């Protein structure tokens, strides 16, 4: 897992064929619950973490984030699926096919 800025995210999404992005916040308790799940998922697929705290309005508007945690699957830079809320490793792997 790699924590990235919004600028880095935009660049990395163009470079990677499959990427999971975790939109999170430091004040979000459910985000802390899914963090270990995403750490395990990162053994199978690239996971980028974007903390929305510094620029929440812009990030939420640009990426249509309604709540955190929001975890989105990108293929070739295009969002193809997302999960909002708490989930288990089997749930996210089955849903995203990774």
Interatomic CA distance for residues 88 and 64, integer angstroms: 23
What total number of domains does the chain contain? 1
The CATH number covering residue 6 comes to 3.40.30.10
Q: Is 0.85 topped by the overall pTM?
A: yes
CA–CA gap between residue 54 and residue 23 (Å, rounded): 12
Q: Which positions are catalytic?
A: 28, 31
Tens digits of per-residue pLDDT, 14-49?
999 999 999 999 999 999 999 999 999 999 999 999
Q: Is 76 left (phi over 0), alpha (psi -120 to 50) or beta?
A: left
Q: For residue 54, what pLDDT is reported?
A: 83
Find the mean pLDDT for residues 75-87.
97
- CB atoms under 10 Å from CB of 53, counted, come to 13
């Amino acid at each position: 897992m790699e924590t990235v800025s919004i600028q880095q995210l935009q660049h990395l999404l163009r470079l990677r064929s499959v990427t999971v992005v975790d939109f999170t916040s430091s004040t979000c308790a459910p985000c802390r619950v899914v963090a270990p799940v995403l750490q395990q998922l990162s053994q199978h697929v690239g996971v980028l973490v974007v903390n929305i705290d510094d620029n929440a309005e812009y990030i939420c508007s640009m990426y249509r984030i309604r709540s955190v945690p929001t975890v989105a699957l990108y293929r070739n830079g295009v969002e193809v699926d997302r999960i909002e809320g708490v989930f288990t490793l089997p749930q996210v792997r089955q849903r995203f096919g990774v």
